[in-house]
Amino acid sequence: MNFFQYFIRRALLVTPLLLGITVMAFLIANLIPADPTIANLPPNALNDEDTIAAFRKKWGLDKPLHEQYLTYLGNLLQGDLGTSIKTRKPVGEDISRRLPATIELATLGIIFGIALGVGLGLVSAIWKDSLADYAARIIAFIGISFPVFLLALIFLTVFYAQMRIAAGPGRLDIIMRPPPTVTGMFTIDALLAGDLKTFKNAFDHLVLPASTLALYISAIISRITRSSLLEVLNQDYMRTARAKGLRERYVIGFHGLRNSLIPVVTVIGLSYGNLLVGSILIESIFAYPGIGFYMFRASTSQDFPAIMGVSLLFAFIYVGVNFVVDIIYFFLDPRIRVA
Amino acid sequence: MSSISSISSSTREFESPSRAKQAVYHLRRNPLVLLGLISVILWTIISFIAPDIAPVEPLKQDLVNRLQAPNAQFFMGSDELGRDIFSRVLWGSRITIPAGLAVIIIGSTLGVIIGAIAGYAGGIVDELLMRLTELFMAFPFIILAMAVTAALGPDIQNAVIALSVVWWPRYARVLRGLVLEVKSQEFVEAAHSAGASGFYVLFRTILPNCIAPALILATLDIGTAIISFAALSFIGLGPEPSSPEWGRMVSIGIDFFDQWWMWLFPGFAIASLVMAFNFIGDGLRDILDPRLRGE
């Protein structure tokens, strides 16, 4: 199978899934016992007959359920996710303004997390049953067993409030001005503007939340790396590689790590879900104005349109990430190309 | 006579050790499992006797003594209304442990039934149920749980329902695979040819042979269920704010960041319970899957 065929086949599998997600989001939205007009319109608009009529017409509430869904899908395709009760702005607009902040945090978090997770997994597999192995596994246990909000609070107390070696909540110090918006990611925008001071400040503010996120997702990555590498290390071809006189570094780095990476890539794809969950909890503690914080505020104030908008976005991202993971398999696993 | 007894005594040496002996052997080799077991038992006992051993009522306010750091009277300090954190942490086990277990029991039962039907029926039913499973898995589970709880309204019961709704797909997948495997075996054919109904064959002949892996998966999962429940409740989608629920206590503690005892102790309570379950689950997997023992 060449790459193009593989790509098309995967894409065809993803499309019905995306449609299904919209059906499900629509059904959950219909599950609310309350009248959707009450759930969606601000309280003061409920006295206004015209507003209510306009709302019902726009979302087709006077029509049967399947037609309502089509209207919903049509509005969705135009990027219309409804209006947030809390911010009184279109949910799509709210999301697109906050998304860059979360992408910035999540990207740094996953880079830290993969580095930490694969690193710890390598250490524990190579020096199995040593002190280093136990230390690495205890770190993994903490990452899995401690609620991420507790980790965030402990990090904030220790490194910010007590030791004063990390920047605190928010995206920038209060006295700093955000860089001119290009991507919405402060570090990149600051670099584009050539403003190193702002870049450093924005980066400093990212370090603590990104590290918390990293510890959280590295736990699973390190466990899988360890067990997968341990299995590979016992294979015959590893002995062959050593027997033909390759250096240990090369044997593990090239023959070992590469072959143990397939389950690790799967887990990284799956842990993207954890990353999003983590971002909700971490952003709300670090007062970091991204999608997670927005979702947190929406949940605590029953802002249903906002909740559904973010849920849809996260589900789409999740499907997208796993699509990318499938594509990466193609390059990592030669068996797919033969099949 | 004597020769017979000597034969039987020599064969006894080759018998595999009893299950109890095996368990003791593994516990000694995995001290963490033992530690986990002890902690879980301890927390379970606490959850039963909390009303008797808690120094104060969990909801009792004492505004004169608010925000006290841990001292002789308030072992873990007091909160913004002068409630005793120690008593609240003890009481919290009565909410969290049953909630976590309920999620696992409801979720796994649902998953087992759906997966079993999909695997046994095959064809279009299988296809439909598995697409549905994939759909539920596409939503990061806490997001879906948040949406469901928000739709149903926040309280303990709805948080459990929401988590159960998102919990079943993994079990459905595992069970379907197992049923497919068992389905083709001869004793199932025998049951069919003896005239047993499809319902009988699935639930009485096939399922009992698939239940063990599901039970193991469930044990591995309890920690995750507890931590997810705490997270939902931390977000405000669990019990009401005054409730002595651990996740809720941590989230209230954030507003009193410098009064670290307000969030640290309930947080540690969650972590200790979850870690205990993870130790057990991890050890169980090592014991049952010899490949991972690396021997």
Residue A154 pLDDT greater than 60, yes or no:
yes
CA dist B131 to A66, A269, B118, B134, B136, Å? Answer: 20, 19, 11, 5, 9
**Inter-chain residue contact B135 with A17, CB threshold 8 Å:** yes
| Nearest CA distance, A324 vs chain B (angstrom) | 14
% of chain B at pLDDT higher than 70: 92
**Inter-chain residue contact A153 with B139, CB threshold 8 Å:** no
Of A50-54, A159-163, B11-15, B285-289, least confident by mean pLDDT is B11-15
Q: What is the pLDDT of residue B105?
A: 94
Instruction: Return left, alpha or beta for B117; rule: phi > 0 is left, psi -120 to 50 is alpha, else beta.
Output: alpha
Note which residues in 117-146 of chain B have CB less than 8 A from chain A: 131, 134-136, 138-144, 146
Which chain B residues contact residue A285 at CB under 8 A? Answer: 254
Q: What is the pLDDT of residue A37?
A: 66
- Return the ∠ at Cα A145 (arms to A139 and A148), rounded to 5°: 90
3-state secondary structure A23-34: HHHHHHHHHCCC
**Inter-chain residue contact B139 with A311, CB threshold 8 Å:** yes
Name the residue among B79, B88, B17, B18 with its Cα closest to residue B50.
B88
Chain pair A-B, CB pairs under 8 angstroms: 142
B55-93 pLDDT tens trace: 888 888 888 888 888 888 878 888 888 888 899 999 999
**Inter-chain residue contact B135 with A157, CB threshold 8 Å:** no
Q: What is the pLDDT of residue A36?
A: 60
Contact B109, B175 (CB under 8 A): no
Q: What is the pLDDT of residue B3?
A: 47
| Nearest CA distance, A180 vs chain B (angstrom) | 32
Whether the complex's predicted ipTM surpasses the cut of 0.85:
no
What is the C-alpha to C-alpha distance for residues A88 and A45, in angstroms, rounded to an integer? 11
| Nearest CA distance, B54 vs chain A (angstrom) | 24
Q: What is the pLDDT of residue A41?
A: 66
Is A307 at the interface with chain B, CB within 8 A? yes
Q: What is the pLDDT of residue B226?
A: 94
B118 membership: H or E segment, kind and range: helix B85-121
Is A147 at the interface with chain B, CB within 8 A? yes
Which span out of A110-124, A318-332, B230-244 was modeled with the highest average pLDDT? A110-124
Is B278 at the interface with chain A, CB within 8 A? yes
What is the C-alpha to C-alpha distance for residues B268 and A316, in angstroms, rounded to an integer? 35
Mutation target to probe the A interface, by most A beta carbons within 10 A, among B30, B33, B139, B237 is: B139
Which chain B residues contact residue A222 at CB under 8 A? Answer: none
Which chain A residues contact residue B264 at CB under 8 A? Answer: 150, 153-154
Is A130 at the interface with chain B, CB within 8 A? no
User: With the CA atoms of A307, A311, A313 and A319 taken in that order, what torsion angle do they form, in degrees rounded to the nearest 10?
Assistant: 180
Contact A160, B257 (CB under 8 A): no
Instruction: State whether residue A267 is helix, strand or coil.
Output: helix
Average pLDDT, chain A: 84
Query: Between A213 and B27, where is the model more confident?
Result: A213
| Nearest CA distance, A286 vs chain B (angstrom) | 10
CB-CB: which of A17, A227, A300 is closest to B235? Answer: A300
**Inter-chain residue contact A147 with B279, CB threshold 8 Å:** no
What is the C-alpha to C-alpha distance for residues B186 and B192, in angstroms, rounded to an integer? 10
**Inter-chain residue contact B236 with A300, CB threshold 8 Å:** yes
Is B35 at the interface with chain A, CB within 8 A? no
